[in-house]
Amino acid sequence: MRQPIGIISMQFVRPFTNKDLGLFERIKGLGFDFVELLVPEPDDDLDVGALCQALTDNDLGVLLAARVNAERSITSVDPMARQHGIDYLKTCIEAAATLGADIVGGPLFGGPLVFAGVRPSPIDETERRARFDRCVDGLSTAANEAVKTGIRLALEPLNRFETDIISTVSQAIEVVDYVDSPGLGLLLDSFHMNIEERSISDAVRTAGDRIIHFQANENHRGFPGTGHLPWNEITQALHDVGYKGPVSLEPFRRDDDRFGVPIAQWRPPLEDESDKLRTSLAFMRAALAMAEHKR
């Protein structure tokens, strides 16, 4: 079976609602094997039954991306935010079961910074250890739930500006190995790894079989192959650790470098990106396949 390559729905639209279900035909037509959807929120205008039907109709797989915030964060010092964080992870697992997604990934540990309008701040050693305890407690609870439902949670390190909880692969490994559950693995995103890792390919090799989802994003989060990431080394490392799981593309930076355009802010497409997406997919599929021919 070929390695599944998917695209995030945010490439096309945000928020994703009932009127966007027709996108699945386009996504399938572009050649993608699955769509990565944000875990639906209660107030999203999205009918889950119709969503499932549209996935089936288009023979499209699905993975879910979880969204945390300061009010739902398992590592928060606020017990209410912690409880909401755990409740949210359970909601994510239920949503995955309903939609037939077997992986929910993201910064499940909470502790958002820039997108929550929070500055990086020093913490003392007591609080650092308390955060670790809250993190493994919350993830253990959620991983137990996940195992019961046959879902796996994928912990994603985010760069230093997006969180101060887990930014490196080694930090994530520390937590995943401590929780030690078949319901918890790693989601690695090369965009974040480019900022935080000494070597992206070494980090992939260290993570090894803990990796259950890979997001193949360019250094600038544009179309893969248009930046400076060493894709041959990265795909070789994925091959060397035997990773055959899902690979997502999220190249939604947009080709718009005018003064004052807020690059970190999600922006809708400015053009029909179909050709660039087809080329991105072909590039990534070839880079993954080429690793098999080396050595």
> What does the binding site for a second copy look like in residue numbers (CB under 8 A)?
75, 113-123, 128, 131-132, 135, 159-162, 164-168, 170-171, 174-175, 194-200, 219-220, 222, 226-228, 230, 257-265, 267
Give min distance, CB of 52 to a second copy, in A.
32
| CA-based R_g, the chain, Å | 18
Kindly tell me which of 136 and 212 has the beta carbon lying closer to a second copy. Answer: 136
Determine which one of 162, 196, 197, 250 is catalytic: 250
Q: If DSSP codes are grouped into helix, strand and coil, which group holds residue 168?
A: coil
Answer whether 38's CB lies under 8 Å from 65's CB.
yes
Q: Find, among 117, 155, 150, the residue nearest to 135 by Cα.
A: 155
Kindly tell me which of 113 and 142 has the beta carbon lying closer to a second copy. Answer: 113
Kindly tell me which of 45 and 202 has the beta carbon lying closer to a second copy. Answer: 202
Give min distance, CB of 201 to a second copy, in A.
9
Determine which one of 156, 162, 197, 273 is catalytic: 156
* Local structure of residue 78 (DSSP, 8 states): S
Kindly tell me which of 140 and 159 has the beta carbon lying closer to a second copy. Answer: 159
Give min distance, CB of 159 to a second copy, in A.
8
Q: Which amino acid is at 286?
A: A
Instruction: Measure Cα distances from 226 to 198, 247, 251, 257, 283 in Å.
Output: 21, 18, 10, 14, 10
Give min distance, CB of 195 to a second copy, in A.
6
Widest Cα–Cα separation across the chain = 53
CA atoms within 13 A on the CB side of 29: 7
The DSSP bridge pattern shows strands 247-249 and 61-65 to be unpaired
The structure tokens listed for 140 are 């253990």
Give min distance, CB of 69 to a second copy, in A.
11
Residue 292 annotated to the active site: no
Give min distance, CB of 121 to a second copy, in A.
6
The partner residues of 187 in beta bridges, in order of sequence, read 213
Answer whether 210's CB lies under 8 Å from 186's CB.
yes
What DSSP string describes 24-71?
Answer: HHHHHHHT-SEEEEEPPPTTS---HHHHHHHHHHTT-EEEEE---BTT
Instruction: Measure Cα distances from 165 to 93, 160, 168 in Å.
Output: 22, 9, 9
Cis peptide before 15 (omega within 30 of 0): yes
Kindly tell me which of 61 and 208 has the beta carbon lying closer to a second copy. Answer: 208
Q: CA 269 to CA 252: how far, in whole Å? A: 8
Q: What positions carry a catalytic annotation? A: 156, 250
